[in-house]
Amino acid sequence: MATYKAPLREMRFVLQELLSVDAIAKLPGYEEATGDVVEAILEEGAKLCENELMPLNRSGDEEGCHYENGVVRTPKGFKEAYKLFADGGWPALSCAPRYGGQGLPKVVSLAVEEMICSANISFGMYPGLSVGAYNAIEASAGEALKALYLPKLASGAWAGTMCLTEPQCGTDLGLVRTRAEPAADGSYAITGTKIFISAGEHDLTENIIHLVLARLPGAPDGTHGISLFLVPRELPNADGSLGMRNAVRCGSIEHKMGIKASATCVMNFDAAKGWLVGEPNKGMRCMFVMMNAARLGVGIQGLGIAETAYQSAVAYAKERLAGRSLAGAKHPDRPADPIIVHPDVRRMLLTMRAQVEAARALAYWVGLEGDKAAKHPDAAAREAADDLVALLTPIVKAYFTDMGFEAANLAVQTYGGHGYIRENGVEQLVRDARITQIYEGANGIQALDLVGRKLGSHMGRSLRRFFHPVLGLIEAYQGDAKMAEFVLPLAKAFGRLQQATAWLAEQGLRDPEEAGAAASDYLRLFALVALGYMWCRMAKTALQKLADGGTEERSFYEAKLATARFFMARLLPQTGTLFATLMAGKKPLMALAEAAF
């Protein structure tokens, strides 16, 4: 069976020892987020995820959601688990205190999200979408809408959705057809069909608040004619009590490869009453606030699944007996050795481990920078932090979700035939992980976002926010005998990234198809350098801890160094091929005539 224990020691290493999360309590508004508080929250979160959410993961997949006559029933146990979740105050974790939230830093909710995604990604979709809706309303809606809706979302009494995709368009939202007609009372009548709406309808909350992209009459074509509307399923009275049912209805749910306990709905809006959020025709801008946070969240789903895949594979590899160590029997008293003795099994386990640990460090670093971007008193520091988050968001989304899918598959491979059997729970990780590479902007779109928007933004300012610390680390430690084995491979990979970046900047300006042809390989190259950078920082921390002596956890830090060495020797060299293939240019991709495919 798939197994999961929240990796609290790993989280502590990253938050406290690597990133000194304590410092966050110096930011105005985060005074209460001391190391002790963060630790206590993670421990409580771990209990919830291990004891309540994980046990529903398998049964939720088998049962799936049920649709009947506009109503969606979540699998057995989800309603009760959601009640525990809401009663525990988890939806409010990073919501503003003035709307009933706990006002904790995003990095803390990120760590909790990771645990939720490890335990039950389908369950996590419901509160995840609500957070997205909360963020969009908080960032763009007027005060009246905020006052009415945000407390209900923060308490978890109501849930939220993002209604973007339509049958004819997903990636290309310029093709949205849903219409919004102004009504006399200042509201709008929304009409159209949205598909693939996660949490569009369910039985967990008394109300669901849809954020809907639609066109006002006479709006320009394309993305510049799209506006954002808030459309509640039940129209609330001014006091927050529920009034009439609105004209929005779930038409059906999808039968999907995975995340079967997450209801994916067709939503029909039939002159449903809604309110404008933000300015007319500026809906895409409002939505981007929500989408960027959501993209980081999807990256965290990849990380969460990868952690569970790793833990499950390790447990099986220690228990399953087959063959003998090639170096001679390790357990001559047993009929065979556990498969963890085999180099190829270790290759699979370490491939997961070395990516997961660096990905967690990178994600939490981005999370902390996000908190700085929100709360730092200095405008320049806020801007710098925001640049870094914007730059790394597509990398976290795309690379982490590819990693989650790869890890899930490596877990299945470790299990062998038993991994293919549903009841053992690891094949579900593969099916669940698969969607994360697609939704919130398919990974190819993330790559285009990186090369098309982020690289050149502010004349390369965002890029420098990452390149400078990497260069700084390389310069600081390249002469350090103990760090050389980590820093030299990073320097080599970083050299490739610098060269590819320069090439892209030149070619991409001349011919955007060159940038498009290089994008996916470039994103992976960038991501590997980012993970390599985090491994160097982690190795430095581990070496320091070992040098300080007196620690009872020498093996913990030694394992960090061994895993860092694996990353440098076995994963970072992928940058060589990625560099070669992206530098091959667009011609091999574009030469074949459309008709010849």
Residues 79-108 that bind its own copies (CB under 8 A): none
Per-residue buried b or exposed e for 474-498, using 16+ beta carbons within 10 Å of the residue's own CB: beebeeeeebeebbebbbebbebbe
Q: Which stretch, 132-140, 230-238, 532-540, 563-571, contacts its own copies (CB under 8 A)?
A: 563-571
Binding pattern to its own copies, positions 368-397, x when CB under 8 A? ------------------------------
d(Cα 204, Cα 193) in Å, to the nearest integer? Answer: 23
Q: Which stretch, 29-37, 109-117, 242-250, 552-560, contacts its own copies (CB under 8 A)?
A: 552-560
Q: Are 150 and 95 in contact (CB under 8 A)?
A: yes
Q: Quick check: 422 binds its own copies (CB under 8 A)?
A: yes
CB of 231 to its own copies, least distance (A): 21
Alpha-carbon Rg for the chain, nearest whole angstrom, is: 24
Q: Which residues in the 252-271 window bind its own copies by CB under 8 A?
A: 254-258
Q: Quick check: 456 binds its own copies (CB under 8 A)?
A: no
Angle between the N-to-C axes of helices 512-548 and 574-583, in degrees from 0 to 180, rounded to the nearest 10: 160
Q: Which residues in the 514-543 window bind its own copies by CB under 8 A?
A: 515-517, 519-520
Q: Give the one residue of 20, 499, 551, 555 binding its own copies; rule: CB under 8 A.
A: 555
Q: Report residue 12 as tokens.
A: 């502590």
Planar angle of CA 58, 59, 62, nearest 5 degrees: 90
**CB nearer to its own copies: pick between 46 and 197:** 197
Q: Quick check: 597 binds its own copies (CB under 8 A)?
A: yes
Q: Give the one residue of 97, 182, 323, 472 binding its own copies; rule: CB under 8 A.
A: 323
**CB nearer to its own copies: pick between 70 and 323:** 323
d(Cα 449, Cα 444) in Å, to the nearest integer? Answer: 9
Q: Are 234 and 207 in contact (CB under 8 A)?
A: yes
CB of 421 to its own copies, least distance (A): 5
Q: Quick check: 68 binds its own copies (CB under 8 A)?
A: no
Q: Quick check: 413 binds its own copies (CB under 8 A)?
A: yes
Q: Give the one residue of 31, 36, 87, 172 binding its own copies; rule: CB under 8 A.
A: 172
**CB nearer to its own copies: pick between 184 and 593:** 593
**CB nearer to its own copies: pick between 238 and 592:** 592
Q: Are 462 and 391 in contact (CB under 8 A)?
A: yes
Reported as type and span, the H/E element at residue 298 is helix 283-319
d(Cα 187, Cα 276) in Å, to the nearest integer? Answer: 7
CB of 342 to its own copies, least distance (A): 6
Q: Which stretch, 106-114, 145-153, 316-324, 370-378, contacts its own copies (CB under 8 A)?
A: 316-324
Q: Give the one residue of 97, 220, 416, 472 binding its own copies; rule: CB under 8 A.
A: 416
Q: What is the largest CA-CA distance in the chain?
A: 83
**CB nearer to its own copies: pick between 271 and 315:** 315
- Of 49, 113, 173, nearest to 294 (Cα)? 113
Q: Give the one residue of 71, 421, 476, 509 binding its own copies; rule: CB under 8 A.
A: 421
**CB nearer to its own copies: pick between 84 and 257:** 257
Q: Quick check: 202 binds its own copies (CB under 8 A)?
A: no
Q: Report residue 361 as tokens.
A: 């460090």
Q: Report residue 292 as tokens.
A: 């960027």
Q: Which residues in the 6-45 window bind its own copies by CB under 8 A?
A: none
Which residues form the catalytic set? 440
Nearest 10 degrees: Cα torsion 6, 12, 18, 19: 100
d(Cα 569, Cα 66) in Å, to the nearest integer? Answer: 48
Q: Which stretch, 41-49, 182-190, 380-388, 443-451, contacts its own copies (CB under 8 A)?
A: 443-451
Q: Which stretch, 39-47, 127-135, 183-191, 588-596, contacts its own copies (CB under 8 A)?
A: 588-596
CA 313, 315, 320, 326 torsion-angle sign: positive
DSSP 16: I
CB of 222 to its own copies, least distance (A): 10
Q: Which stretch, 363-371, 392-400, 494-502, 507-515, contacts its own copies (CB under 8 A)?
A: 507-515
Q: Which stretch, 12-20, 45-53, 207-215, 431-439, contacts its own copies (CB under 8 A)?
A: 431-439
Q: Which residues in the 486-505 window bind its own copies by CB under 8 A?
A: none
Q: Quick check: 468 binds its own copies (CB under 8 A)?
A: no
Per-residue buried b or exposed e for 108-145, using 16+ beta carbons within 10 Å of the residue's own CB: bbbbbbbbbbbbbbbbbbbbbbbbbbbbbbbbbbeeeb
Strands 158-163 and 207-214: parallel
Alpha-carbon 355 to chain mean position: 15
Q: Give the one residue of 20, 59, 168, 551 binding its own copies; rule: CB under 8 A.
A: 168
Q: Quick check: 511 binds its own copies (CB under 8 A)?
A: yes
d(Cα 247, Cα 269) in Å, to the nearest integer? Answer: 6
d(Cα 138, Cα 374) in Å, to the nearest integer? Answer: 13
Q: Give the one residue of 65, 180, 231, 314 binding its own copies; rule: CB under 8 A.
A: 314
